[in-house]
Amino acid sequence: MNSSDLDLINRLVLRTIDALDKSNNDVERTCWMIVHEYHHGLMPFEYDVREIDETLYLTVLKELKERLRK
């Protein structure tokens, strides 16, 4: 992974942590919403079924869970 990929993952993780502080949503759902916003330029709406980059989502989710454990 190059440095720009790591920067993107870090930014998305930090945005997810910030969103978790303001909501009662679960980690997976909030992470998915942040990656959706990054991918499509807006937060998902009810029943939004557009695809996201699953590899990016899983990478961000993994990093997020590691940081939350600390």
The contacts of residue 10 (CB under 8 Å, 6+ apart) are 63
Helix 27-40 to helix 3-21 angle (10° resolution) is: 130
pLDDT at 36 exceeding the cut of 80: yes
- Tell me, yes or no, if the pTM score tops 0.95: no
What number is the average pLDDT over the span 46-62? Answer: 93
Structural domain count, the chain: 1
Range of the domain at 24: 3-69
Tokens 């990478």 -> residue:
59
Q: How far is CA 35 from the centre of its chain?
A: 4
